Amino acid sequence: MTIPSSIGFLSEDSCLPCTPEEERRTIQHLDRAATSNRKEGDLYYLISSEWWNGWKDYVGLDDSSQQLIESPLAASIRPGQIDNSELLSSEMDDENDELILREGLVEEINYTLVPLEVWKKFKEWYGGGPTIARKLIPQGFNNRELAVEVYLLCLRLINAADNSQKDIRISKKASVNELYNRISALFKLERSKIRIWDYFSRTKHKVLSELDQSLEEVPLSMGQEVLLEVLSDGVLSRASEADSTGNRLALAPLEPPRSSITIAGGPTVSNRCPTGSLPDLVQETSSGLWNLESRKDSSNIATKVDSGGLTGLLNLGNTCFMNSAIQCLVHTPQLVDYFLGDFNFEINKHNPLGMHGELAIAFGDLLRQLWSSSGMSVAPRLFKGKLARFAPQFSGYNQHDSQELLAFLLDGLHEDLNRVKNKPYIETKDANGRPDEEFADECWENHKARNDSIIVDVCQGQYKSTLVCPACSKVSVTFDPFMYLSLPLPSSVTRTMTVTVFYGDGSRLPIPTTITVPKHGCCRDLTQAISTACCLSQNEALLLAEILNHRIYRYFDKPLEPLSNIKDEDHIVAYRLPMKHEKSIKLEITHRKKDRSTSGFQNTGYDKFFGTPLVTCLPDGSLDNSNVHGALSLVLSPLLRKRTSEVSSRSSKENGYGSGSNSVTLTENLNVLQEERSLALSDAEQEDDEIPPFEFSFADEKDSGRNSFFKDSPPPSRRVKVLVDWSEKEQGLYDLSFLEDLPEVYKNTGFFAKKTRQEAVNLFSCLEAFLREEPLGPDDMWYCPGCKKHRQATKKLDLWRLPDILVIHLKRFSYNRFMKNKLDTFVNFPTSDLDLSQYVMHKSATMRSHVYELYAVINHYGGLGGGHYTAYAKLPKENRWYHFDDSHVSPVSGDSVRTAAAYVLFYRRVDGDTPMQEADASSHPSSSRGSSP
């Protein structure tokens, strides 16, 4: 279906609609003006991405060029009213009586931000809403960046007097003083008589007393508790007194372990508030007690262990991406030794590219806590606060990419610990024919002259980059440092789908059609592929639908809906209808037959639905028994068991389907079909002189039948649902098997299923794909110093120098205009004896070993909408693997760390004199390439 027209939706005082090109130019002008003059406090408005993408298609606005493009949809399909309802939660803000945003929204996936003037113009043209305004706030290091605060900080305020709770939403940039004023006004209390505690996990951490400090700096986490205490005559109330005698209220039971053997555990905090209920009184369980604030050792703590490094991290609300990366870093042996020692003298507080040493200090403090052997989970709130301050992209409590966080953290730690206080200027030079060894060493020394830290010592390597001009064959060689390797995963870019095509004019039997579409395409791609496969005429259109339990579950009437929403096990049909079927009344025909356990057709839930619903149209727009019966006979005619005339060809003429002009009417078709039914009955030795019409009734949205036929008024919508009750006699007249057993979109069976299960990607094949020569993209042209022009050169990467810690990122996520996609391909990677000698170009005899063993893994489970990160890490002294799932830590076998969830791999160099452990012969390139899991 097309996007509905906006005619009738414009407000009374709106101007006449502009042309698509005029709308595009107006919006581009307003957007450029707002972008060039952005300042703190400016208002931006959220618009549903579904509506926004529809408008861009209408005006022909391309994402990459922002220019007018040739589009078959341009100037013909105008979006309707703005509809932001899908962005909103069903909750209401009790304090301000405002709607609340739905959790987990992602910019450019769920919504788009537009400036005030653009929003005003859209409202003038289209109307709709609701209005969702947010402010532009400063953030980042020294507040040098401006960003829209889409999600306000949500705090759970607990009143110590009566233990009542109330949610407060306030900007994270608001001061502690503003929070006091807000609460004072909300409860009508004297400002001087209230005291607010940081009450994270029902633990009194500290009174919020620094009034000029921002809530972001405190720091307060999304959904956490703050405690309100009220002073009466200068003293606390009795309830508050009891609460402030210590931290006994902070004591809470351990979260139930997720495995039979759990080493560290604790409560998980969600995006809004803690999951589960934490008690208001001291809780004693068989598992013992723990205290988040004091972290005092207790002989009663059942989870305490003797060895360090087995401490979990509390989830502060979608922070599993951060926890998994931290666990891998804090189990890197060189970093553990460094941060457990005295590193303060190496902190570079004056590096303009660093964070004044604050990030390194926060990470060092967190690492020390995790290796303190206390056995209690740590809440990384202070570290999260520093992270949000210096990397605004990770602020808030939405899910993020663990590898992106890892990249920022390694770079940030390097700059904070850079031993070079004053970086010298070094002019970039060309090789000028010098040997690679000489030029590579020079480039490395130049890099070290400006970058010298524990991160460079341990984690940075060097690769050779060769560019060749396709025009003049100019060769350019550079040697560049790298912190990690991002390896591509081979994957298919297309998808095979089977869709059953039904003819709304009754001209043919339904036909299953198998087509190939872009794997990350949208419904428009599917519609176009089916149209080509079934030779759709210019007078016809397709209506896609999903069938579930013999009823139409949903229509795919949004051209830009991603095909990932259609699963392989779904049943999809395409109805061939007239081009402008939106203007006709569509009949949605659902089939019922008598349940053998009941007598008669009853609307009591005992009627049995069967077959596939059909859809046809009433071209003249009228709705009565005669027209409905005629349409039913027409669309069911191909299923008659005996056909004596060419009704199928005649019935398709100008009932909104054929190319003729009023050659056959619906009534004439009905007469011919009645003759066919009579002959079929005669062949079946039936004696009835008059054929009774189909027994049918109109239905509501719940498929319950009723008897009103809209005689005196038009139907409430253009879609009318009809229930057809099939008697045993009629079931004998028609071959209803064509309506049964719809094929699945894709059924992976037999030989192909076995082949798919055996397919596996080897880590070495991923590395070879990364090192393979390939042309640069059209958007990544290289300026050739020989031609003096931008050329689409070929690029070749080679490994030259490998680091002691080799981090390998498996590129499981792909991005396009509409969505992110994840590849769940199993990668067969070695856990030991990873020998990269054949891939390293520098063959100096003085080079160290190129053999590595695995010591940590970041895993990602599930999809992007509801994914979860965990980590595996190996304790070298124990030679044992552990699973870190937020606050839960449990031992695992070495074989279990190789899964399809592996996302980032951490290897450490094994020198020749170091004995290898857990040798795995299958991991060597000579024996593992091409192996299957």
Among 531, 551, 568, which Cα is nearest to 739's? 551
Report pTM.
0.58
Q: How far apart are CA 301 and CA 304, in angstroms?
A: 6
Tell me which residue has tokens 């071209």. Answer: 619
Q: What percent of the chain has pLDDT over 90?
A: 29
Any idea which of 211-225, 457-471, 497-511, 918-932 has the lowest mean pLDDT? 918-932
485, HSE (Cβ side, Cα atoms, 13 Å): 28
* Rounded Cα gap, residues 925 and 933, in angstroms: 15
| pLDDT for 892 beyond 90 | yes
β-pair type (225-232, 153-159): parallel
The span from the CA of 46 to the CA of 110, in Å, is 10
Pair 267, 221: CB distance under 8 Å: no
Which DSSP category does 780 fall into?
S
Question: d(Cα 494, Cα 519) in Å, to the nearest integer?
Answer: 4
Closest by CA to 283, choosing from 224, 222, 201, 341, is 201
Lowest mean pLDDT among 298-312, 347-361, 596-610, 696-710: 298-312
Query: What Å distances lie between residue 912 and 275, 807, 808, 833, 835, CA to CA?
Result: 50, 20, 22, 11, 12
844 vs 306, higher pLDDT: 844
Higher pLDDT: 437 or 490? It is: 437
Q: Tell me which residue of 823, 761, 273, 732 sits closest to 519, measured CA to CA.
A: 823
Is the pLDDT at 95 greater than 90? The verdict is no
Give the tens place of pLDDT for each residue, 261-306.
444 444 433 333 333 322 222 222 222 222 333 333 333 333 333 4
pLDDT at 590 over 70: yes
CB 721 within 8 A of CB 698: yes
Could you give the CA distance from residue 314 to residue 381 in angstroms, rounded to a whole number? 9
At residue 64, does pLDDT exceed 70? no
* Tokens 């590579």 -> residue: 440
Amino acid at 698: F
Q: Residue 604 gets which letter from DSSP?
A: S
Predicted local distance difference test score (pLDDT) of residue 657: 45
Give the pLDDT score at 308: 77
pLDDT of residue 414 exceeding 60, the answer is: yes
Q: Please, what are the domains in the chain?
A: 36-62+74-149 (3.30.2230.10), 153-230 (3.10.20.90), 320-417 (no CATH), 494-595+608-640+693-740 (3.10.20.90)
Q: Of these residues, 356, 447, 629, 868, which one is catalytic?
A: 868
pLDDT at 652: 42
Pick from 862, 762, 873: which is nearest to 810 by CA? 762
Other C-beta atoms lying within 10 Å of the C-beta of residue 689: 7
Please provide the average confidence, as pLDDT, over all residues in the chain.
76
Strand-pair category, 705-706 with 719-726: unpaired
Q: What is the DSSP letter of 743?
A: P
Residue 488 pairs in a beta bridge with: 811
Each residue's pLDDT tens digit, 515-526: 988 877 788 889
Q: How does residue 97 score in pLDDT terms, banded at 50, 70 and 90?
A: low
Checking if the pLDDT of 838 tops 50, the result is: yes
pLDDT over 60 at 491, yes or no? yes
Pair 673, 633: CB distance under 8 Å: yes
Distance CA(656)–CA(584), nearest Å, equals 9
Token output for 188: 């009508």
Over residues 437-462, the mean pLDDT reads: 93
Residue 75, pLDDT score: 41
Between 751 and 87, where is the model more confident?
87
Mean pLDDT of 389-411: 84
Q: What does the pLDDT read at residue 911? A: 78
116-126 vs 20-36: helix axis angle to the nearest 10? 160
| 153, 172 contact by CB (below 8 A) | yes
Packing angle between helix 20-36 and helix 49-59, nearest 10 degrees? 120
Q: What share of the chain is helix, strand, coil (3-state, %, to 5)?
A: 25, 25, 45
Name the most confidently modeled range: 95-109, 152-166, 274-288, 753-767: 152-166
For 345-372, b/e burial (b = at least 16 CB within 10 A) is: ebbbeebeebbbbbbbbbbbebbebbbe
Window from 25-39, 588-602, 715-729 with minimum mean pLDDT: 588-602
Among 132-146, 351-365, 524-538, the minimum mean pLDDT is found in 132-146
- Residue 598, CB-side half-sphere exposure with 13 Å CA sphere: 12
- Model confidence at 912, in pLDDT bands (50, 70, 90)? low
Confidence grade of residue 65 (pLDDT, cut at 50, 70, 90): very low
pLDDT for residue 713: 46
The pLDDT-based confidence of 809 (bands split at 50, 70, 90) is very high
Segment (H or E) for 435 = none
Is 124's pLDDT higher than 70?
A: yes
Could you give the CA distance from residue 146 to residue 101 in angstroms, rounded to a whole number? 21
pLDDT band at 690; cut points 50, 70, 90:
very low
Q: Which of 19-23, 100-104, 474-478, 668-672 has the lowest mean pLDDT?
A: 668-672
**Is 868 considered catalytic here?**
yes
What is the SS3 assignment for 506? coil
Q: Long-range contacts for 215-219 (Cβ within 8 Å, ≥24 apart)?
A: 215/153, 215/170, 215/171, 215/172, 215/173, 215/174, 215/175, 215/176, 215/179, 216/153, 216/172, 216/173, 216/385, 216/388, 216/389, 217/385, 217/389, 218/176, 218/385, 219/381, 219/382, 219/384, 219/385, 219/388
Look at 213-222, 377-386, 663-672, 797-806 and tell me which has the smallest mean pLDDT: 663-672
Catalytic: which of 320, 534, 617, 784? 320
Number of Cα atoms under 13 Å in the Cβ half of residue 246: 6
Does the structure show a pLDDT above 80 at 123?
A: yes
Whole-angstrom Cα Rg for the chain: 34
Helix (H) or strand (E) holding 586: strand 585-593
What digits encode the pLDDT tens for the residues 324-350?
999 999 999 999 999 999 999 999 998
Q: Look at residues 117, 110, 103, 98 and name the one whose alpha carbon lies nearest to residue 43.
A: 117
